[in-house]
Amino acid sequence: MQRYPHRVLTSCLLALCLALAPAAQAIVTVLDPGGQPVVHKTVTITLPGQEPKEAETDDDGILFWLDGSKVDELPPGTIISDGYSFEVTTGMSTTTKVLIGVGVAAGIGAAIALSDDDGGNGGGGTPTEPDPDPPPTTPGPAMLSVDPLSLSATRTVGDPCPLDLGSVTVGNTGESSLDYTVTPAASTVENFSYPDGGGTLAQGSQDSLDFDFDCTPATDQPGTETHSVTIDAGDAGTQSVSLSVTTDAAPTEPPALANDGPSSYTKIHTVSVSPCPDPYGPLRISNTGGAPLEWSIPDSPDFVTVGASSGTLAPGETVEIPLDFPCSGFVMGTNMGEIAVWSNALDDPGMDTGTVTVTIELTVQDP
């Protein structure tokens, strides 16, 4: 260890210290500036890289540890090096001083010279105050965040397209900026669209990615379509977003029976003059629903001949059923009756278009 000649304790000082120390124990005598030995009541020593240690006191002096060993346990000749800082308390006064001289633990005593200012570096002492200009810290890594990790929707064939699935927030919760990519490219995906390519996010910033479901008449079919999008930010993280759209078949409309002709028929027949059979005119019915219509005419008056008693109509289809007077089954004068058309539209709850009824009025007269 380097010595400072002007700070080396003289043999007389050491002799003075040794003279002050009883042989039964080691006593550390603190030399204040000017070299005068003073036995303080309390001394706390701070060793470099260690927690502060407080000295023990007794009536004869101060005992404390250096490098984990008690002074009186150090072998004779051990050098108590400089560079330690001491907090010295006398009465109500406390000062911080730095060891600038060196002493020798002779087994029964040691002398230590202190600086005369707080935290002075006369002997290379360790500063006790924090560095006012600490070196700049290195920012931590970037960190990718993606929310939510799935988007889904349900639609029906024929619903408008595109369908808005919602948005995904891509953020950076770390301390450094990050670059991210979105794959695969939306142009390679059949029915999903979204912004691809990626971007750059500074610390604490975020992007919003909008996702849509696009469909055409050719692809607008019942079923479920799924897709996965990868958002990759390298060391900052990678996340996958799941997309799912379920398309339900359009509901089938029930059949509906409608009368597209008159609701009543009137005929005056002159015996031996009017033709036989004598037509009333056609009964015209249609299917205005969305499913096949099955219709039937279970009965008719004796003075009416029905051209067909049953049939099936596709959605939007119309049929004309001839109605004639057969010149029989009547009475002279006025004859009244009805014809009812029944259909399977009655099988659908709430339907009031399952039957069609028309009235027939026939007058038979002599010439």
Successive 10-residue mean pLDDT values, the chain, 367 residues: 38 36 39 50 54 49 46 46 54 56 41 46 41 75 97 94 95 96 89 92 96 87 94 96 94 89 96 95 94 94 96 95 95 96 74 81 95
Rounded-to-integer distance, Cα 172 and Cα 170, Å = 7
Q: Yes or no: is domain 257-365 CATH 2.60.40.10?
A: yes
How far apart CA 197 and CA 185 sit, in angstroms, is 7
Lookup result for tokens 């070299």: 35
Residue 138 pLDDT: 86
- Number of residues that make up the chain: 367
Q: Would you state the pLDDT for residue 250?
A: 86
Structure tokens at 244: 């799912």
- Residue 273, number of CB atoms within 10 A of its CB: 9
User: Boundaries of CATH 2.60.40.10 in the chain?
Assistant: 144-248, 257-365
User: CA separation (Å) from 162 to 168, 183, 186?
Assistant: 17, 21, 14
Q: What integer pLDDT is reported at residue 147 of this predicted model?
A: 97
- pLDDT for the residue numbered 9: 39
Render 92-129 in DSSP notation, one character per residue. Answer: TEEEEEEB-S-EEE-SSEEEEEB-SSTT--TT-PPP-S
In this structure, CATH architecture of domain 144-248 = Sandwich (2.60)
pLDDT at residue 76, rounded to an integer: 46
Q: What integer pLDDT is reported at residue 27 of this predicted model?
A: 40
**236, 172 contact by CB (below 8 A):** yes
The pLDDT, as a whole number, for residue 253 is 84
Hey, which residues does 103 pair with through a beta bridge?
A: 80
- Tell me the one-letter amino acid at 254: P
Q: 3-state DSSP call for residue 72?
A: helix
**Residue 361, beta-bridge partner list:** 266, 336
